[in-house]
Structure 1
């Protein structure tokens, strides 16, 4: 029987929080959904209440593809194993999809929680999100039907392509781009955002904080906390994957230059965190200029920046 929502949860080598994620879906006020967990782990006590797909591939794109292939819902929502949904999220998403006919991409705001699930109210400009992410938050809903380059840049400043646990899409968005999805290694959120730009339909940004974004020591998107060297290594690995993913997305969009700013950002961040000097033809913008300047600074200055980021990573 077809469901309204399919919730795809991915977990790889980490089961510490996954039951909290699952329970946040089971507690939803709207019950017309299915939960699909794609994992390489044996997690007891779940097989009777959700679909479980065992997959050893470490890359997110293949995991999401496996979950999507088994999905029955018309609206696909995503949930990282360490995040949670607010109890009324699906009910609100359903209402908005019904009210704004033709919505294909939805992104809600998020609240930040700590390891124990307590909300964190961080006063300074760092939330342990990746150092390239904007921290601007939305105060009012935005609905876009016709996207242009200027609108896309504005949406990205509003984090429209950040945090897959805040994203729901119509099934057609993934159906149209499956062959590219399977090549994505890390930045599923950006892939989903750009995939929706290929299609006719509405993009909806919701200011409601319907997702709980967990900050903890095992967060892959924010770097290892096991010392500065491990921090650099983990983030350079992430940026390398994100750079490869951005080229896949550019190919998907027919080599459209709207992804060039992302490519430049990941390219420069990889150079900064890896300590390597890789040459390339860069298209600099106001947002990437600071990374370019930092990338050509002497080694000790780059180390000061990295240590500063690492110390903030440890602060909360």
Structure 2
């Protein structure tokens, strides 16, 4: 009998944190799963650690050579036997109720094909973390997706049938943002959801794919911009090149902190958000509040991150937009919702 969930966990030289990650999967309150641990050519003690487990739910797979993350993930998808596929990384930690909560939601809501959650990001100790909150409802997820990835990759669960029937896989052309691109494609076939409650402790390490990708500045910009344009196209939004350059800046907090106000004046920013707001409200006429909240959160970052860089009159000009107040509302709501 096939398991309900197939968990795909790639491991490459993962000896330092692998046991913690695997233990958090095996300790799940929901027990009906297989754990595919794919050793991608490790030269440390990754193999010995995996083979040291005697849990029959573990399927050990060893690549003949290092294939890289994208090919390894796709291999895992093809080998998965479960009705659902869940992702996990070799250095993260799952909440013990993660699978139960995700399965309960997906079983009760067949129109949803993918779900994930907010996350707690940490470096050394899980007691010292940064809470990264993602949009919850499908409309907000789609709006958020034009800026950046709308899901926490290692906390994702999706319906295996949708992926395999529509030949949806991670693509090499989108290296370091291959997950972002796949989520955009998946959302063409059904709805997405994020649990506000963080179901994953996300370990921020220098060797993480996100950090490695961040070092490939030009390649990453091209990749992210291409995915953003795909998300915009799906929502019938057309932007000119300057607007596309600006939406890329809005995808990264470090870029927002260093906006060139000579290139992107306050008047341009106000015009940009007005245009985007009108387009999105036309697409989601019954969800105008969601549009204001998602845009407001991004807009508020511009204001807060540049308080010391802008003249007072320009700050006032930005600050008196209604998006400022929606952004503040979102921040307060996030604080209250995660207590």
- Report which of the two structures shows the higher radius of gyration computed on alpha carbons: 2
1:83 aligned to which of 92, 95, 110: 92
Structure 1 residues 175 and 28: CA distance shift in structure 2, 3 A: same
1:46 counterpart SS class = helix
Structure 1 position 8, deviation (Å): 0.6
Structure 1 position 112, deviation (Å): 2.4
Structure 1 residues 283 and 143: CA distance shift in structure 2, 3 A: closer
The answer as to 2:152 corresponding to 1:191 is: no
2:215 counterpart SS class = helix
Structure 1 position 176, deviation (Å): 4.5
Match of 2:222 in 1: 243
Match of 2:117 in 1: 108
Provide TM-score, normalisation by structure 2. Answer: 0.61
The answer as to 2:192 corresponding to 1:203 is: yes
Structure 1 residues 16 and 175: CA distance shift in structure 2, 3 A: same
Structure 2 residue runs without a partner (length 5+)? 251-255, 264-339
Kept in 2, the 8 Å contact 1:107–1:160? The answer is no
Match of 1:98 in 2: 107
RMSD over equivalenced CA pairs, Å: 3.8
CA distance, structure 1, for counterparts of residue 99 and residue 237 of structure 2: 30
Kept in 2, the 8 Å contact 1:7–1:77? The answer is yes
Match of 1:154 in 2: 144
CA distance, structure 1, for counterparts of residue 69 and residue 50 of structure 2: 21
More helix by share: 2
CA distance, structure 2, for counterparts of residue 104 and residue 95 of structure 1: 13
Kept in 2, the 8 Å contact 1:27–1:87? The answer is yes
Provide TM-score, normalisation by structure 1. Answer: 0.65
Kept in 2, the 8 Å contact 1:78–1:165? The answer is yes
Count of residues in Structure 1 that have an aligned counterpart in Structure 2: 249
Q: What whole-Å deviation, never above 9, does each CA across 1:223-282 have from its counterpart, x for those lacking one?
A: 5xxxxxxxxxx633276257347648967x897587999xx9xxxxxxxxxxxxxxx887
CA distance, structure 1, for counterparts of residue 85 and residue 41 of structure 2: 21
Match of 1:40 in 2: 41
1:44 counterpart SS class = helix
Kept in 1, the 8 Å contact 2:171–2:178? The answer is no
Structure 1 residues 295 and 190: CA distance shift in structure 2, 3 A: farther
